[in-house]
Amino acid sequence: MAQAQGVPAEPAGRIVPEPVRAGIELEINGERYRHTGDPSMPLLWYLRDVLRLTGTKYGGDHSGADLVLVDGKAVPALAQPMAALAGRRVVTVEGLAGADGSLHPLQQAFVDEDAIGCGYCTPGWLIAGVELLNRKPRPSDEDIDQLPVLCRCGCHARVRRAIKRAANGGKA
């Protein structure tokens, strides 16, 4: 069964020596996992089918709905085979909020600007926006122009406002 592949890995720092076990170990939203299934499986299906983390969406190649952070870089989960992710740190939209449930400043800015249409592409905008803000805390309009997300609901202008609001400490 698919679920069997999704068990969290053993906690780090165990004293008892373990036999070498097959599988790909990676960190997702702060938890460690070992993938023992097909190494060519794209991360998107691992997240959605195996871990049931469905915040990252399928929209097709170049849609941007499937963006995740891998070691801090926004990449499409559809194009990341699990084999390439050993030892990597993945953050999905579910991992942006604090452990106490407090929203990431960009999530809060999306709420405040109502930068939401149907909401299907929103996780993609958030991941792309968080990466941009990490890279460039005061992004220019030209920086924002480069975000690789498609949005048929036309949220672009409100997303731009939300990113600027987050960059401005939450003030419009």
Partner 1 sequence: MSADLSRRRFLKVLAGSAGALVVGLPLAEARADDAPLPPGLLGDDYRSLGAFVRIDADGAVLIGTRDPETGTGGATAVARIIADELDADWQRVAVLPLGLGVQNRDGQPAWTYGHQRGGAGETVPAAWADLRQAGALARWLLLQAAARQLGVPADQLRAQSGLVIAPDGRRLGYGALAAAAAKVAPPPAPVPVKQPERYALIGQPAGDADARAIVTGQLRFASDHRFAEELVAVLSHCPWPDGTLAAIDTAATLAVKGVVKVVQLRPEPSQPLGQTVLAPAVAVLAEDTWAALQGRDKLKLDWKPGPSGGENSADLEQQAVALLDDKTAAAVRVRNDGDVDAAGKKAARRLEASYVLPWLAHATPEPMNCLVRLEKDRATLVVPTQAPQQAWTVVRRLTGLAPEQIRIQVPRVGGGYGRRLDHDYVAEAVLLAQAAGRPVRLLWTRGEDLAHDVYRPGSAHKISAVVDRKRNVIAWTQRTASASALARRGVPDDRLWTSEVAADQLPAGLVPSYRSDWCALQSAIPRGAQRGMPHLSNAFAVESFVDELAHAMKEDPLDTRLRLLGEPRQVALGDGHVLDTGRLLNVLRLVADRIGWKQNWLHSVNGLGLACWRIGDAYVAHAIEAALDGNDLRIRRAVCAVDVGRVINPTGLEGQVAGATLDALGTALNLGVTFKDGRIQQHSYRDYPLAGMAQLPREVEVIVVPGENLPPSGASFLAMPTAAPALANAVFRVSAVRVRRLPLMRELLRML
Among 30, 60, 72, 119, binds ligand FES (CB under 6 A): 119
CA-nearest of 93, 87, 74, 5 to 45 is 5
Among 155, 162, 163, 166, binds ligand FES (CB under 6 A): 155
Among 23, 25, 84, 120, binds partner 1 (CB under 8 A): 120
Order the strands of the 89-91 sheet from edge to edge: 31-35, 24-28, 89-91, 67-70, 73-76
Amino acid code (one letter) for 25: E
Q: Which range, of 7-15, 17-25, 87-95, 131-139, touches partner 1 by CB under 8 A?
A: 87-95
Binding pattern to partner 1, positions 1-20, x when CB under 8 A?
A: xx------------------
165 binds, among partner 1, ligand FES, none (CB under 5 to 8 A by kind): none
121 binds ligand FES (CB under 6 A): yes
76 binds partner 1 (CB under 8 A): no
Binding pattern to ligand FES, positions 124-153, x when CB under 6 A?
A: ---------------------------xxx
CA-nearest of 109, 74, 111 to 92 is 74
Quickly list H helices, the chain: 43-45, 105-113, 122-135, 141-145, 156-167
List all residues 6 or more positions away from 64 whose beta carbon is below 8 Å from its beta carbon: 76, 121, 124, 125, 128, 147, 148, 149, 150
119 binds partner 1 (CB under 8 A): yes
